Structures are given as structure tokens and as C-alpha cells.
Amino acid sequence: MRPASWLLLVVALSLAFDATLLAVGQERRIAQQRELPLLHTVTAALGLSDLCVATEARYTRHPAVSDPVAPFMDHPGAMEHFPTGSFWAPPPFRR
Amino acid sequence: MNSALEKHLNILDYALSALWRHRLKNGGIVVVFAAVIFLVASFQLVTTALTETAGKVLAVTPEITIQRMSAGRQEAIPLAYAEKLHDIFGIRAVVPRVWGYYFDEVRGANYTVLGVSADMPQADELSRAVVGGVMGSGGQGKVVVGRAVSQALQLQPGQLFSLFRPNLSLKAMTVAGIFRPETDLLTADLIAMPLVEARDLFLIPASKATDLCVYISNPAEIGTIAEKISKLLPDTRVLTRPQIQKTYQVVFGWRSGFASVCLLAALAAFAILAWDKASGLSPEERREIAILKILGWETADVLAMRFWEGGLVAGLAFLLGCTLAYLHVVFFGASLFRPVLVGWSVLHPALSLAPHVTLKEVLLLLAFTVVPYLAVTVVPAWRAASVPAESALSG
């Protein structure tokens, strides 16, 4: 078999593998979509504004209802020191 | 077979053989390049998944939330503020809410305590999301806890537990139910209870609440009504539903520190690769090109050969990097990013991320990685191929 045929085989197998991964991922998306009405009920009934991803600091637990300056509010000259602060960008400026 | 296609297949065969001759070097480039693409693609997939989820789930968040501000900090808002809003046309309901954080010193965990009124929309349907009973007042208040809280405190429905009030007296509560696992992304750290119980726990007077949720009849009027509220209550911060949704489009953006590090690492690695390639071909590679030209190859053929070489290296790295990134995010819950994503959080739900991969995002990543690599490999080859073969051999 010529080298180009080997390449074609490798690429085809990789793409087939990727297509399988995407199909499994798509199934998960559909399953998540089915749970959406339940999540809407919880959000509406509790009036939630944020996802529970990180719980270490109030400004990454509830970024939507925190100020951009919340990380520096502990005392004058305070530094932001929680690790999640490096992953979560500050929320857009608001009054 | 078409002669042009056959010619290109032959050039491709030659390019593959050339790559195989230097397999250690080229394999190294593929691995490094794939790692860079993996990092960038993983971050992109995580942020896409979280932003998408937030957009869908928070679509029914209160239309307007009013918080009272004092000296730049949020403070309890008097319920009298709600009465001032009666004159604004279009407001359907104003519902007070009491919420805050409770730090469990023994476990080092932060719980979110949420006191909600029965007037909240869909409050009567909350039982669908709970295993066990719903919350209620009287005697020992009945609360509903998130799964992470129930695991941390080892609580089961019907069990009694206590939390400290600010004056260190104990408040006893009964676990009425536990939120279903499907709602973990919203409720993992929640202790939900009636408004009166939350007031009792935080010792907040009955005349105050943490914030006010405002429900509007016509969502198209959110902006106008928010503006009116801002004017009427100047010491408050008025958050609208679109602002809350916009928050989640921004907080996982490329401007966060971690994302910048990923991007800078990728750029630095790519700059080193590009510099190595663009600084010119090695004498051995020049010699190879000269021999090919003597054998009858034209400049265009040499360029095609280098193009294939660059394309194969970059393409394989792209395929490998993207596949690993998808596996990492969807099947391993972005485990490499978790230490930074959740930080020192003791309670955090298991993330089930299923991002929607769009052609636009794939092409964007391709344009930022593969295309520049192709450019920097072809340019020095063109310079070498345009030099007469004799001078390349003698030089």
C-alpha cells in the first residue's frame, strides 16, 4: 500500500472516531435538554441568578449579583486570593 | 487517473516519506502543537458549555432584582422599598428574598442559605425537583438541601440538624427533602427554607430582606421599568435578566487570567515553532531541494511538497488536539481545569459538560493554528526553491 493510502486510512479512522465521540456528546446534550424544564422550575421557584460551579468565594458563586470589586472588599488594600478568581473574569460593569 | 491528481499523490507520497525519515523531530512537533491546540480547544469547549448552560437555565431568572447599596456594599433592603414601586405600571409582583452564606467551620464548606416566599413563580411546582417533602415553617423549620450539603452533613429526609445564628445560639431545622441530582448545577450547595426561617437564622428583622425580585408583565419593558426603579430608589442597584445572562457570557471569557495564560502559552509555543521554521531551512533541507530541482522538480512542485509536509504536521496535530480536548471536556469533565475552575470549593457539583461544537468555532481554531503554520513553512521553502540548484549545492 502506498504511503498516501495509509494516510487516508488513518485520517478516515480518526474522523470516524471523532464522529462517534460527537454522537455520544450529542446524546448527552439531548438528555440535558430533557432536564431543562425541571431546572427552569427550580430557577423560577427559588429566583436563582447563578450556576453552582464554585462555592469558595461569593463573587464566583454568585457572579451575576456581585460587584466587580467584591474580591477586594475585605479591607482597604485587600488582594484577591481565591484560585477561582483567575478562571472567572469580572462581570460586566454595573452600578 | 487524472494526471494532476496522480502527480499530487506522488508528491504526497514523497512528503510522507520525508516526514517519516525525520519522524522523531516531526513527531515532537506534532505532540507539542497538539498540546497547544488541546489547551486552547479545551478552554473554548469548557467556556462554551458553561455559557450555553447558563443561558438556557437562567432564562427564567427574575426579570429585575433590586439590591440596596451602602458604601459600595450590598445591605439588607427595607420592605418599604417594595411599596414605593406600586405606582410603576407593568410590574406584576415584587417578592422579597432573604439569602446569604453560611460557613461550616468544621468542614470548611460554604453553604448558600436561601429563604424564599411562597409567592415566587412556580413555587408550588418545586416538589417535582425534590426527593422527599417540601419546605415549611412552624416548629423546627422544614428545609430542602442540595445533594452536596446532604453529603457533607450526612443528612437524610426527616433528619434534624442545627446551624448557628450570628449570636451563636442554635437554630434547629428538619430536612424535609433533598434536591434531585439533575438539579445539582443549581442546587448542590443550597439550603432552601421559608422566608421566615431564613430571617430567624440570619437575625434579619421582619421589615427587611436581602433583595427584592421584581416580576414584569411584558419582558420587552424590562429596561424601561429598571430605569424607573433606579430613579425612584437611587441607593439601589437594579439588575435585569439580560444583565445576568450577559454576565455568564463574560465571566468565562478570554479576559480571565487563566484564559490569558492558556492563550499566551499557546502563542509562545507557536512563536517558537514559527521562528524555527521562518529562520530558514537547514543546509540538509536546502541540499535536498537542490537535488530535487536537478532531478527535474519545478519550484511549484517543491512548494507543493513543503505545503503537504506542513499541512500534514499541522493537520494531524489539529485532529489530535481537538479530539483530546473533546474527550477531556465531555468525558472527563474538564478534570485538568477543575483545580482552577472550582478552586478551594469544598462543595461543588460534578460537571457534566456537553458543548455544542459548531463549524464556525472549528474553523476559527483552524485559522489561528494551522493556517499560520502553513504560511511559515512554505515561505522559507519558496526562498530556497527559487535559488538556482547549483548555487544551493555549492553553498
pLDDT digits over A50-70, tens only?
A: 999 888 888 888 988 887 777
H or E element at residue B392: helix B389-394
The answer to whether B241 touches B226, Cβ cutoff 8 Å, is no
Neighbours of B211 (CB within 10 A): 24
Each residue of A4-54: pLDDT tens digit?
888 899 999 999 999 999 999 999 999 999 999 999 999 999 999 999 988
Domain assignments of chain A as residue spans, ordered by start: 1-47, 49-95
Each residue of B285-311: pLDDT tens digit?
778 888 888 888 888 888 888 888 888
Each residue of B141-189: pLDDT tens digit?
899 999 999 999 999 998 999 999 999 999 999 999 999 999 999 999 9
In chain A, the residue whose alpha carbon lies closest to the alpha carbon of B241 is A49
The answer to whether A89 touches B250, Cβ cutoff 8 Å, is yes
Cβ–Cβ pairs < 8 A, chains A and B: 247
Instruction: Quote the pLDDT of residue B3.
Output: 81
Looking at the complex, report in whole angstroms how far the Cα of residue B390 sits from the nearest Cα belonging to chain A: 31
Cβ separation A38–B326 shorter than 8 A: no
C-alpha cell at A47: 429566583
Residue with cell 462517534: A20
Could you tell me if residue B112 is left (phi over 0), alpha (psi between -120 and 50 degrees) or otherwise beta? beta
Domain assignments of chain B as residue spans, ordered by start: 3-56+252-394, 91-216
Question: Would you tell me which residues 12-51 of chain A have a C-beta closer than 8 angstroms to some C-beta of chain B?
Answer: 14-15, 17-18, 21-22, 24-26, 28-29, 32, 35-36, 38-51
**Does position B367 have pLDDT exceeding 90, yes or no?**
no
ipTM, interface predicted TM-score of the complex: 0.88
Cβ separation B185–A7 shorter than 8 A: no
Mean pLDDT of the residues in chain B? 87
All residues of chain B having their beta carbon less than 8 Å from the beta carbon of residue A5 are none
Looking at the complex, report in whole angstroms how far the Cα of residue B180 sits from the nearest Cα belonging to chain A: 10
Cβ separation B237–A95 shorter than 8 A: yes
